[in-house]
Structure 1
Amino acid sequence: MTTTASAGLKAASLTAVLVGCGSLLGFGRDLLLATTFGADSATDAFLVAWMIPETAAPLLIEGAMAFLLVPLFSRAVEQGGDVRYLVAATLPHMVVALLCLTVLTAAGAPWLVALLTPGIADPELAVRCMRLTSVTVLMFGLAGYLSAALRAQHAFGPPAAITMAYNLGIIACLWTFQEVGVSAAAVGVALGAMGMVLIQAPAFVKRCGRPRRPARRMLLPLGAFVPIAAFTLERQGQVLVERFVGSSLPEGSISHLNYAQKIAQVPMILSLIVATVTFPHLVRAITAGDGAAVWRRLTDDVVVAAAIVLAATAVLVVCAPDIVRVLLQHGAFTDADAEATAQIMRVYSLGLLGQAVVGVVCRVFFCGTRPAWYPALAMAAGLAATIALAIPPWGVAGIAAANAAGITLSAAILLAGLRGPAIGLPPRAIAGPAVRLVLAAVLAAAAGWGTRSLLAGLPSAAVLALTAAVTAAAFYAVAALTGTEEITRMIRMRGRA
């Protein structure tokens, strides 16, 4: 194994461990929130306020900020430039802009609550929580900036640890200040966001040093940022649609949607770890004009992500009731809450493949130096489909189905865009493995259903562990039997990444 391959494997493994720990803490956070406060008008109010960090995170950490800054820092490193000049030229302006947005968000909280969730039962509590969570606009922006700079220099540990810091802050406040009500969670969000910056600051200072004033004025390529931001906000718009429509449904509907989404998205997040590590390499391949290397990297990442999320989809569809009972059905979280959440999770999980494909494929459109509007147009089509399908009479399951349909449409449009002259990805490069993996997911789900029916009467934890193991094993067995050479090639190429 070469030094490059060893470094890539080490980075992916470290990132996987840290992100996995962050996800486990996220489970703990949601479990503590559910068992302490259940699913009612108060949790709905907090989740309305949580839309601020939920929107800021993809825009300022993993989404637009990364798509803008990772290529910028990567090109500076590749060309042998001093990144301290780049930091001095860009960071102060970004901080001022983020401060202004933070103040505007806090001041405009009453109008935002009324606009986003007009039917919310406790708007005053939602406003108080939103003002507390507005600090995430500044903190997430700084965290995203530090993450981009570190990843471009192949430092993946501190950026991967930010989710741990964030969730630890929320859990600590929920545990310590739960007597003040759900506002404790909002305070935790603010403190957790600060932790995301602090955990990266030492590594950033070590790697970049003190900023140096550049000899000539340098500006962020805001022309490239606009389409990236539009894409990211449209993608997050699906959550806004959920909260808007859910606010007119029975009390607790927003909470049920949130719990189901948070659990179902964990495999999607894990599926994008490799893509996160390979992003700087993708930037360099595109910058060098090596089309063959670009689509090889892209197909590898898509197949890896698809294999993870489709195996997880099979498990989620079969085991949703058991997952919810084991993780959430404690304390104030009732049987009715568990049933509603499980139903939503099953439907929502059908869109995980689309979520993963969008997360992997969109990167290639944002690596160039010219703005790319195609991903924003693809997401606009998906968002329009979500809005059209998410109607109150269909209830929370209908909202989840609309979300899945919208993101799947966006994924299909993005894949179609890869056939253009800029990339020239052959359709068969992804279509063949995708069909095999979907078949494996269907057969694995069938095996899981059979196993679960045989285990009826056992404790939920035992049913979940055994059924999930059988379902996952069946998935990978079928995938190997239907495409051994493709899976073997994928693993070998990943080892050489």
Structure 2
Amino acid sequence: MTTDQPVAPPAPATATATAEVPAPRAAAEPARRGFLAKAFGVTALLSAAGSGLGLLRDLLLARYFGANQGTDAFLVAWTVPETFAPLLIEDAMAFLMVPAFSLALVLREERPHGPDPVRQLTRSTLPWLLLALCTLSGAVALGAPRLVDLLAPGLADPQLAVTCTRITALTILPFGVAGYLASALRALHSFTAPAVIYVMYNLGILALLLSGHRLLGVRSAAIGVAVGSVLMAGVLLLPFARRLRSGGRRRGLRRGAARRLVLIPLALLPVAAFTLTRQAQVFIERYLGSGLPPGTISHLNYAAKVSQLAMTSAILIVTVTFPVVARAMAAGDFTAARDRVEKDLGQAAALVLLGTAFLMACAPALVALLFQRGAFGPADTSATAAVIRVYSFGLPAQAMIGVMVRPYFCVRPVVRRADTPRAEGDRTTWLDWYPVGAMLLGLAVTVAVGVGATPHFGALGLAAGNAAGITATAALLMRGLMLRGVALRLPRVLGGQARLLAAALAAAALGWPAARAAADPLPAALLGGGTVLLSFAALGALFGAAEVRGPVLGLLARARRPQPAPVPSPAPSTAAEERPHGR
């Protein structure tokens, strides 16, 4: 199924815009809300399936290989797909290509004749991308020994890590193709095929794990990652080709007279640098964790995977609404972009804080329920649950960064109009590098806390450094958004965040003793999770958090609404029933 937005892009904002909503935008709002709800539903359903398969993948890894030097070696190699998946699929590629394709769509609507800007954009960017991806994949495979030594110098089995790294290096090309095609499809308001990619990815890994874990050991997981990446790209080729053909042939103007798009190579640098510095937190953890007892890196990995489950819904919100923000900013409507970002911040915070409260209350029961079997024992459960609770302090900041960083790169897409002066369109400014600077300062906090706390607290010190660094980055990005033209109403935003945080803290405090009241993991998780959910909903509504109060009041109103009495079907009459009584 393809979800298409049935409304035109917003008109550019003017300096004299008032608080009133223009009539066309007001008329389009219900249709846009319906489109976003439909797109979110499709994306959520398929992403939930992908997350479920990813969880099964982690369960099998824990069951077959446990937490030892073998899994540590594989997880060092998994740094390659962990780095390039955000870089080439979700973050950098989306930051670059969603605004670029959004601008192409604006140009298509401004001038319906002449060469199609969407096709022209594809011709000017895709060949260069394929060349760069092939070169990068080969470089990573050749440099695998040096890379392993840099990432984890204290690793017990470096040769196994080198072998797995060379296998996972093959993922770079299909990751890049998948990210490019997914970004284009989302900008074209097609969300179904991009949401399927992680289903295919995890199916490939699971197939190799199930069939090859006895013969190949942990190498089967590395081969599965490579196979899954190829499936990701393959599932997008046909939908992209179909959407590209749907633009049709356009005539009426010569190619030189059309308002074409020109590639800006320098625009790639701030986006790539931000994504790499954001992923560098994983590098820091692996580097410092390699000097700790065997299994520490595995505990950190399992804890991160469970913690990220709380981020899934927030990521879905950003995925669906990013093309809307990019389209508004391409058209110059910064007011619409600000309103969308503020709404996304509130909705993402509500979902992530609910998940954070659940993890705080039920982490031991959840880890025991998911992982404690086979080679994964009670000691691993205790260590992983403790790391999850520390990680959880940084989850709200991670959600905020996912929402706030997108407008930074919408202003400077990877392409410009051909009629824009070169000096104005091709140079980067310090504002383009502001997210990178914020992330570098956050990394400095991560390193300082990690180096200082790891000798005393081990993996917990690394998790604390992660949470502290990502929170510092979120604060800097929020402050800098107004420099990009998206002037958030900070008292309104921070007030809403504070109400949600208070509700989450209270819900976690109530859910913790409820989870401890049950001895078995499943009842403990259900009892603690139910308590957290009900408490968060009640307290969020009581505190006036709009993101909670609205849905709660809607559910209560629906429950109180009287149901229409069923109308009985008329029974066939008889002669006796038609006679008056007594006759």
* TM-score (ref. length: structure 1): 0.95
Question: 2:67 is paired with a residue of what secondary structure?
Answer: coil
Aligned to 1:22: 50
Identical-residue share of aligned pairs (%): 47
> After alignment, is 97-106 or 281-290 more displaced?
281-290
Q: Post-superposition shift, 1:98?
A: 0.3
Q: How far apart in 2 are the matches of 1:91 and 1:298?
A: 30
| Gap change, CA 1:322 and 1:404, over 3 Å in 2 | same
Q: How far apart in 2 are the matches of 1:388 and 1:402?
A: 7
> After alignment, is 77-86 or 398-407 more displaced?
77-86
CA deviation profile, 1:157-199 (whole Å, cap 9, x unmatched): 1111111111111111000000110000000000000011011
Taking the TM superposition and a 5 Å limit, the aligned residue runs for 1:133-152 are 133-152=168-187
Aligned to 2:140: 105
Q: Post-superposition shift, 1:60?
A: 0.6
Aligned to 1:495: none
Report the AA paired with residue 99 of structure 2: P
State which of 238, 241, 245 in structure 1 corresponds to 2:284. 241
Q: How far apart in 2 are the matches of 1:75 and 1:486?
A: 31
| Gap change, CA 1:485 and 1:162, over 3 Å in 2 | closer
State which of 334, 339, 342 in structure 2 corresponds to 1:296. 339
Q: How far apart in 1 are the matches of 2:181 and 2:449?
A: 39
Q: Post-superposition shift, 1:416?
A: 1.0
State which of 506, 509, 512 in structure 2 corresponds to 1:446. 509
CA deviation profile, 1:126-183 (whole Å, cap 9, x unmatched): 0000000001111110000000110010000111111111111111100000011000
Report the AA paired with residue 280 of structure 2: G
| Gap change, CA 1:250 and 1:75, over 3 Å in 2 | same
Aligned to 2:537: 476
Q: Which has the larger radius of gyration?
A: 2
Q: How far apart in 2 are the matches of 1:152 and 1:486?
A: 27
RMSD: 2.0
Report the AA paired with residue 236 of structure 2: Q
Taking the TM superposition and a 5 Å limit, the aligned residue runs for 1:25-424 are 25-80=53-108, 81-179=116-214, 180-209=216-245, 215=255, 220-369=263-412, 371=428, 372-391=432-451, 392-393=454-455, 394-420=457-483, 422-424=485-487
**1:90–1:218 Cα contact (<8 Å) kept:** no
Q: How far apart in 2 are the matches of 1:102 and 1:484?
A: 47
Q: Post-superposition shift, 1:200?
A: 1.0
> After alignment, is 46-55 or 443-452 more displaced?
443-452
Runs of 4+ in 1 over 4 A off after TM superposition: 214-219, 484-492
Larger fraction in helix: 1
Q: How far apart in 2 are the matches of 1:151 and 1:19?
A: 14
Report the AA paired with residue 493 of structure 2: I
Q: Post-superposition shift, 1:288?
A: 2.8
Q: Post-superposition shift, 1:2?
A: 3.7
Q: How far apart in 2 are the matches of 1:22 and 1:386?
A: 30
> After alignment, is 424-433 or 118-127 more displaced?
424-433
Q: How far apart in 2 are the matches of 1:489 and 1:254?
A: 42
Matched, 1:456 2:518: yes
* TM-score (ref. length: structure 2): 0.81
Report the AA paired with residue 357 of structure 2: A
Q: Post-superposition shift, 1:489?
A: 6.6
Matched, 1:5 2:33: yes
**1:300–1:490 Cα contact (<8 Å) kept:** no
> Which has the bigger relative contact order, CA under 8 A and spacing at least 6?
1
Q: How far apart in 1 are the matches of 2:89 and 2:56?
A: 22
Q: Post-superposition shift, 1:53?
A: 0.4
**2:53–2:202 Cα contact (<8 Å) kept:** yes
